[in-house]
Amino acid sequence: TERAEDGWYQLHLDVPALPRRRRIFIEFEGVAMKSKAFLNGKLLGEHIGMFSRFAYDLTSHLKAGRNTLAVFVSMEKIPSSTLSLGQAVTVNLTASKILTLSKGMFGPLSPDANNRSYDLHGIWQPVKLTVRDGAMIDDAWFVPSLDGARVQVAMRSLDGAQPGRLRARWTDVKTKAVLATTEPVDVPLDDAQVTRDLTIRGVQPKLWTPAAPNLYRLDVTLESASGAVLDRWTHNVGFRTFEVRGNRFFLNGKPYWLRGANQLPYGKNSWDPALPRALIRLMHDGNQRLTRTHATPWNEAWLRAADEIGLGVSIEGIRPWGLAGKIGGTPPDMFAHWLMENEDVVKRGRNHPSVLLWTIGNEMLLRDDKSLEKWKLLSDVVKQTRRLDPFRPVIADSTYHREAEFYNGMLKPNNLDDGDADDIHRYRGWYSDSPFVIDTRADIRNLTPDRPLIGQEMSTGYPDLDTGLPVLRYTRDLVTPQAWVGQDAYPGSDPAVFLEHNRAVTKRWAEQLRFQRGDRTAGFMLFSAECWFSHSYDARRATPYPVYRAMRDAWSPVGLALETGRRRFYAGEEVETAAFITNDDEQFRDLDGLTLRALFVDEQTKQEVVATAAAVIDHLPYYATMRQALRIRVPETKGPRVTMNLVLRLTDRKGLVSRTLDRVEVFANPSASVQPVIAARAATVSLGQGLRRFVNDARLFQDVNDGMPPDMDAPRSVLLVGAAAALKEL
């Protein structure tokens, strides 16, 4: 369709004559960017901002019979700007975006942007009509513990001073059994808002976790003195706690390492309620326990799906890169609007058990991270978020890692809040070295004592949602994919080549991040999960790419991973390596009586070819990682190059506990009849078993002997010296 900068919505309402105390409200969950609402030609009100809810009382303008509701929507008038703040990886930041209303990932990004550069505008979130009778509940806030809860209810009269009565009930969503009810609380109602608490103690609810998402329906009822219902507030809630202790997160009092992936394609299709249920089910079944909403908070349909299916959520705020570049802080009017919308985002999300973290924004201080002026603004948003919800950790900036000198010299003396955890972004196997040649210790340095370290954006590249090839922007403009798969990155190539690269590096990196965590890190999210499915924006067509199944293994509750990074072997060789076993059991249990085996499986026939001897593990505590030595014998093959699956399998007395699969290639050993590459003999000194075997297998020399050569052979010998050789001997 043609882009327009403004337009009208119109709805006809047929309404009967209303009883005297009956009220009808229209409630909007999101309109971009400015709106004016009219009923029968009378102005109801105006609203600015796409991330905040608003409502109007229609009653005084309603008439019995046909009514016309009209909403005029227009764009924010954005002045063009040629001032570019540079690239945030691939997002071209501009003053046009940063100095105007909050747009999340939507809105103009190019330097000469204007209103026609928006990704969306208009009524982009649900709208509903609500009927009330003489009073209303403005808000309710559920604050759980492991054996009770408090509900803070804000309410007011719509019909002058009157007595009211407030009560609450919790009902198990699955069994319909009533968990608890409160005694009614008398409330004197008036036009001014009044707040009351309802409390239950000493109950034994089923706790909510991403693996076991137990929910209760909370009904809060506001009644008249005679017992007539004036208004009702209903929400599914979960009993759970999530907090920081030292450098760890704790879920329901147990240490909890975050195994996640982000982001899902909310911005591409936020209005189809089938999409979050399809994708969140895939993520849950794929052992991904947390996601980040990345620059745009989710709506109710997406959060309800996360609550019900089981997926933790880091809600990221509405102004990504909001304080980036050296162009000064956010203008006062824009900052006030930011706080207004952030308040509504927090209030909307804080009743959802799936919401585990608040993240204020993505890469907020890019290229100006020492500005005290901007830190004061960011700190104000952090403090506002804490005031509205002091029961969840807050990430000040998704890419901020506290530096002791700056914190102690600037932030702490000025009482500035830099959040509860450090959060790094890295791009292994994409913009930087492959995890097959470098380990995670290169990225995990200068840890802050008693402060969790996480990574909410650990990227290994982006398969296209339609083709499976690398996203064309990177091939065409950045030449990133060509570094990994060469000409197979270009349009028309077989996508299987890039998809296999993406699968392998993502799995290897996730495994490393996990088995090297020790007591240093608190969890990671691989990026970008929307690229792990073809057609991920369509609930009926979304299909996992190979990386999805690889990450299902890597994030299995009990993790298994090979120590060696090798994925190519010679037939018949023996490999001395190890397996790492990490116990993140989702019932928080220690594990006993485990048996570990490694086996090769033919990729075509799925038949087991050869298995190693069993390794027995007597005891593995919860949250611990252990290294188990393994000797793997590679099977003989019939062909020169055979693809196999190397499988690690962990069992206990009851059966399978965990398994992981790596695709490997097995090559025929070089034949003894092959002519040596070098017409000379080799003499080795302290070369070591591994290098000695490599020299033999490579068939470089006529023969290879240990020790110094005899004098007569010295002129036609090559001396191979290991690092451990004694200088005196040489």
Does residue 495 surpass a pLDDT of 70?
Answer: yes
**Could you tell me the pLDDT band of residue 320, with boundaries at 50, 70 and 90?**
very high
DSSP structure class, residue 438: S
CATH number for the domain including 172? 2.60.40.10
Q: Which of 323-337, 417-431, 586-600 has the lowest mean pLDDT?
A: 323-337
| Token code pair at residue 144 | 């759980």
In a shared domain, residues 142 and 273: no
CB of 660 within 8 A of CB of 647?
yes
Q: How far apart are CA 95 and CA 113, in angstroms?
A: 10
**Tens-digit pLDDT profile for residues 235-275:** 999 999 999 999 999 999 999 999 999 999 998 888 899 99
> Region 76-90: what's the mean pLDDT?
61
| Token code pair at residue 647 | 């499988």
In a shared domain, residues 192 and 216: yes
In a shared domain, residues 292 and 402: yes
Name the nearest CA neighbour of 429 among 467, 485, 362.
Answer: 485
Measure the N-to-C terminal CA separation of the chain; round to a whole number of Å. Answer: 80
Q: What is the mean pLDDT of the chain?
A: 92
Residue 512 belongs to some domain of the structure = yes
**Tens-digit pLDDT profile for residues 658-699:** 999 999 999 998 764 566 777 788 888 888 888 888 888 777
Residue 102 belongs to some domain of the structure = no
In a shared domain, residues 286 and 171: no
Neighbours of 477 (CB within 10 A): 9
CATH number for the domain including 19? 2.60.120.260
CATH number for the domain including 391? 3.20.20.80
* β-strand pairing of 248-251 with 242-245: antiparallel
> Region 486-499: what's the mean pLDDT?
98
Predicted local confidence at residue 99, as pLDDT: 76
> Region 35-41: what's the mean pLDDT?
98
Does residue 113 surpass a pLDDT of 60?
Answer: no
Give the bridge partners for 464, in sequence order. Answer: none
Chain-centroid distance of CA 192 in Å reads 41
Q: How far apart are CA 53 and CA 299, in angstroms?
A: 11
Residue 113 belongs to some domain of the structure = no
In a shared domain, residues 363 and 467: yes
In this prediction the pTM is 0.91
- The values of phi and psi at residue 420, to 5°, are -105, -10
Q: How far apart are CA 107 and CA 405, in angstroms?
A: 37
Q: How far apart are CA 163 and CA 410, in angstroms?
A: 53
For the chain, percent of residues with pLDDT exceeding 70: 94
Neighbours of 367 (CB within 10 A): 15
Q: Three-class SS of residue 556?
A: coil
In a shared domain, residues 274 and 204: no
Predicted local confidence at residue 105, as pLDDT: 83
Final residue belonging to a domain, choices 555, 582, 616 = 555
Q: How far apart are CA 120 and CA 673, in angstroms?
A: 69
Does residue 596 surpass a pLDDT of 70?
Answer: yes
Burial of 41 (0-12, 13-18, 19+ CB in 10 A): exposed
Burial of 21 (0-12, 13-18, 19+ CB in 10 A): middle
Domain span holding position 445: 242-555
DSSP structure class, residue 391: T
Per-position DSSP letters for 668-685, written without gaps between them: PPPPTTSPPSSSSEEEEE
Residue 101 belongs to some domain of the structure = no
**Tens-digit pLDDT profile for residues 547-584:** 999 999 999 999 999 999 999 999 999 999 999 999 99
**Could you tell me the pLDDT band of residue 350, with boundaries at 50, 70 and 90?**
very high
Final residue belonging to a domain, choices 204, 237, 270 = 237
In a shared domain, residues 706 and 638: no
CATH number for the domain including 630? 2.60.40.2550
Number of domains in the chain: 5
Cis peptide before 10 (omega within 30 of 0): no
Per-position DSSP letters for 582-597, written without gaps between them: EE--TT---EEEEEEE
Predicted local confidence at residue 1, as pLDDT: 43
In a shared domain, residues 372 and 293: yes
In a shared domain, residues 270 and 195: no
> Region 28-57: what's the mean pLDDT?
97
Predicted local confidence at residue 328, as pLDDT: 82
In a shared domain, residues 362 and 459: yes
Residue 437 belongs to some domain of the structure = yes
Q: Which residue type, as a one-letter code, is found at position 188?
A: P
Final residue belonging to a domain, choices 217, 237, 257 = 237
In a shared domain, residues 343 and 459: yes
| Helix intervals (H) in 435-579 | 472-473, 482-485, 495-515, 546-554
């105007």: which residue's tokens?
100
Burial of 48 (0-12, 13-18, 19+ CB in 10 A): middle
Residue 87 belongs to some domain of the structure = no
Residue 100 belongs to some domain of the structure = no
- The values of phi and psi at residue 503, to 5°, are -60, -50
Residue 122 belongs to some domain of the structure = yes
Q: How far apart are CA 506 and CA 434, in angstroms?
A: 10
In a shared domain, residues 123 and 15: yes
Q: How far apart are CA 128 and CA 299, in angstroms?
A: 14
| Token code pair at residue 676 | 């040596």
